[in-house]
Amino acid sequence: MGIEFDDVAASRLLTCLTDAALGLRASGAGRRASAETALHDFHGAYARLFEAARTIESEDRVRLTRALEDLAVQLHVVNRQADEERRRQEARAAWQERERERDRALLTVGAPLRPTLDWSSCLWDPEPADTPVRPTPLTASFRARTRPRSSGGGGSGAGGPSGAGGRSGADPRRLREFSDSAHVQDAPTEQDLTRVRNAWAGFTSRCSWVPVDEATLVVGFGDYLAENAEDAAWAARIADAFAAAGGRVSLANGTLDVAGTSTMPAALRRALDPSATPAEVAAAWRGLGLSEHDLRALPLATKLQIANLDGVPAAARDIASRAVLTAALANPERVYRMLGLPYTYGAVGMDEFRRQVAALWKGVRRADRLAQGLDAPSAAVAQLVGFGASDGALVSAVSLGDLDTASNVTVNVPGATTTLDSADEKVRAANGVVRRAMRLTPSSTFAFVSWFGYRAPAAIEVPSQQRAVAGGAELTSFLDGVRDSRNGNGPRRLTVLGHSYGSAVAVEATAQTRYRIDAVVTYGSVGLTNDTKPEHLNVGEVFATEGEQDHTARFGRIGRTDPRALPSVHVFSAEAGPETNAVTGHDMYPPRGVGYLSPGATSQRHIAEIIATGRPD
C-alpha cells in the first residue's frame, strides 16, 4: 500500500517555483530601465537588433514566469490528488480489516444469519471506492527563443530595411553599463534556476506516482538565461568595437557582425579565403567599403588576417598590422599562440619572439620619425604592411612612404639570417636611398618597402634554393597585391632590390608576377640557379653589382650563377667613385664600414638612380 509521492520534495519544488516566478516578475522594471538607457545614442540596424532582443527577452520572461506559476498550480492539484489517494487507500484498508472481523464473527453465529449481517453492514459500513485516484500528468513546458544578433551587413552602403550594408552608432559606455547591469540582474535568477533544477530532480525521483507529459521547463529556463548572458556579452563586444574605433562613431554593420558574433560578411569571407588571389582580395575588399573606424573595431584575430592580406590597401594593412604588433607587445603569449608558433616545428621561441617584436616596434617608430622628415608631403607617412608568421619565422614589411599613392615603389628583399631584429637598420637604409632618389626626381613620390616577408635561410641553408622558392611565392603575391590594391592606379615605376640571398628570392618572384616589374637589382648576390635567364623574368631590366671586398658573396655563390655573368644584365660599380665610397664587406647597412646602402656608398648612389630614373649614371 502507498504511493511514490514525497510531500517534502513536492513542497520544496513548489516553493522554488514560486520564488523563481516572483524574482522574474520583480526583475522586469530594472531590465527595462537599463535597456532603455543603452538605447540612448544607439542608432542603425544594431539598435534595432538590440531592441528586438530586448522585446524577445521581455516576452520570454513573461512566458517563463507563467510556465513556473502554471507548474506550481499543477503541483497543488497533484498534492490534493495524492492526499485523496492516500485517504482512499487508508479507508479501504480499514474497511477490509472490518470485513475480516465480520467474517470471523459469522463463524460464531452461523450461516443462517449471514444475509442479515451482510445487509446491515452495507447500510452503516459501505465499501470504499475500489478505483485508484489517477494523478493529472504534469506539463512543465517552456522553450526560450533565439535572439537576433547579426544584421547580415556587408559594406557601408545604404542597405535595405534590415539594415544590411548600413551603419550603426552607439555610446560604448552605455552599452557596457547595460552589460554589467544584466550580469548583476541575472545572478539571483541563476540561483533560482539552480534551486528549481535541483528541486525538479528531487521531485521526479521521489514522486514517480505523478506522470510527466512534457519536461522542457528547466532546460528552457537555462536557455533563457544563456540568451541573457549572450545578450550581455554581445553588448560588451559591441561596446569594445565602438571603443576601439574611437567611441561615438559610425561603424559598418558588417564590422559589427564580425565583432559581435563572428559572422563574416560575404565580401570579407571572400577576401579572407586562403585561395583568393590578390586581385580577388582587392575586388572583395572594395565591396566592403570599410572605414578606418571599422578596421579598428574588428577583433584581433580578423586584424591578424587582414595584416597579411595581399591586395588590401596599405593604409588598411597598416591599421591592422599595428594593432597586432601592439597586442604582441602587451600580451606576447597570446599573439604567439594566435600565430600558431607553439605548434610549428622549428618556430622562433618565446624569448626570441619578444625580442623581435620589440625590434620591429623600434623600427616602425624610426620609420614614423623619418617619414615626417621627407620633403614630399604625400610621402610623409610610414606603413607597417604585414605582421605574421611564415614557416615558423616572424614576417613583416615596413614602407617608408605611402604605398597606396606613391608614383615610385621599391621593394627591398634582405638576405640570409635576416630577422625582424634588423628592422631599424633596414629602415635607416631605406631612408638614405629614398632621400637620394627624391633629389633626382623631386616631382615623384616614393615608397620604399623593407620586406621581411619570408623565412630567411640560416648560413648553412644558403646553397639550397628551398627558401628562395618559398620566399619567391610570398614576394610574388606581395608585388601583385601592390598593384591590385590600387585599383588600376598603380605606381609608374616598381623596382625590386635583392641583397645577398634576397636576390634569389627576387628573381624567383619576378619570374611569376602577373604585372611587369620595371627593374630588378641584385647586390652582393650569393648567386642564382644555373638555369636562370633574364628573358624568363617578367622584368624590364636587370641590374647587378658586387664589391671587390665582398668575399661572403663569392663564397656563397659556389656552384651557383653570378647574375653579373648573365647576358643583358646591366652591371654597375660598387667601388669608390667621385665623392662616393667603395663597399667594404657584404652587409647592406653595417654600423661600421661601408655597406651597399650606406650613405655615401657608390652602390647606394647607383641604386637610387635606378629607382628614380631607370639607369645608373
Q: What is the mean pLDDT of residues 282-309?
A: 94
Of 497, 500, 496, nearest to 467 (Cα)? Answer: 500
CA dihedral 502, 503, 506, 510 (to 10 degrees): -170
Of 470, 438, 467, 486, nearest to 556 (Cα)? Answer: 467
Tell me the per-residue pLDDT of 162-183, one tens digit each, with 9 for 90 and over.
Answer: 344 689 999 999 999 999 999 9
Provide the pLDDT for residue 111. 57
Q: Which helix (H) or strand (E) holds 519?
A: strand 517-523
Q: What is the DSSP letter of 208?
A: T
Q: Is the pLDDT of residue 154 over 70?
A: no
Tell me the per-residue pLDDT of 331-360, one tens digit each, with 9 for 90 and over.
Answer: 999 999 999 999 999 999 999 999 999 999
Return the CATH class of domain 303-613. Answer: alpha beta
Q: Which helix (H) or strand (E) holds 194?
A: helix 172-206
Q: Decide if domain 7-150+169-245 falls under CATH 1.20.1260.
A: yes
- Separation of alpha carbons 191 and 27, rounded Å: 14
Tell me the per-residue pLDDT of 573-599, one tens digit each, with 9 for 90 and over.
Answer: 999 999 999 999 999 999 999 999 999
Of 367, 461, 457, 453, nearest to 413 (Cα)? Answer: 453
- Separation of alpha carbons 374 and 399, rounded Å: 13
> How are strands ordered across the β-sheet holding 382-390?
382-390, 393-400, 446-452, 408-413, 493-499, 517-523, 539-545, 570-571
Q: Is the pLDDT of residue 313 over 70?
A: yes
- Separation of alpha carbons 613 and 617, rounded Å: 9
Helices (H), ranges, 373-525: 423-440, 466-484, 502-510
Q: If pLDDT is split at 50, 70 and 90, which confidence band does 158 have? A: very low
Q: What is the mean pLDDT of residues 109-129?
A: 65
Tell whether the torsion through CA atoms of 462, 465, 471 and 475 is positive or negative: positive
Q: Which residues lie closer than 8 Å to 118 by C-beta, 6 or more apart?
A: none
**pTM tops 0.85:** no
Q: Which helix (H) or strand (E) holds 213?
A: strand 212-215
Three-class SS state of 290: coil
Query: Which is more confidently placed, 289 or 417?
Result: 417
Phi-psi region of 332 (alpha: psi -120 to 50; beta: other; left: phi over 0): alpha
| Domain boundaries of the chain, sorted by first residue | 7-150+169-245, 303-613
Provide the pLDDT for residue 247. 86
Provide the pLDDT for residue 1. 61
| Mean pLDDT of the chain, nearest integer | 92
Q: What is the mean pLDDT of residues 3-13?
A: 95
List, in sequence order, every residue forming a beta bridge with 139; answer none if it has no partner: 214
Provide the pLDDT for residue 115. 60
Provide the pLDDT for residue 156. 43
Of 140, 9, 135, 12, nearest to 68 (Cα)? Answer: 140
Three-class SS state of 395: strand
Grid look-up 493529472 returns 136
| 1-14 burial: b if 16+ Cβ within 10 Å, else e | eebebbeebbebbb
Cell of 272: 579572407
- HSE-up (13 A, CA, CB side) for residue 11: 3
Q: Which helix (H) or strand (E) holds 403?
A: none
Cell of 375: 620633403
- Separation of alpha carbons 231 and 33, rounded Å: 15
Query: Which is more confidently placed, 203 or 155?
Result: 203
Strands 393-400 and 446-452 come out as antiparallel
**Residues 379, 401 contacting (CB under 8 angstroms):** yes
Tell me the per-residue pLDDT of 43-94, one tens digit each, with 9 for 90 and over.
Answer: 999 999 999 999 999 999 999 999 999 999 999 999 999 999 999 999 989 9
**Lowest mean per-residue pLDDT among 125-139, 228-242, 352-366, 463-477:** 125-139
Cell of 524: 652582393
Tell me the per-residue pLDDT of 389-448, one tens digit each, with 9 for 90 and over.
Answer: 999 999 999 999 999 999 999 999 999 999 999 999 999 999 999 999 999 999 999 999
Q: Which helix (H) or strand (E) holds 252?
A: strand 250-252
| E strand intervals along 267-402 | 382-390, 393-400
Cell of 449: 618597402
**Residues 536, 512 contacting (CB under 8 angstroms):** no
Q: Is the pLDDT of residue 159 over 50?
A: no
- Separation of alpha carbons 58 and 480, rounded Å: 54
**Residues 520, 543 contacting (CB under 8 angstroms):** yes
Q: Is the pLDDT of residue 120 over 90?
A: no
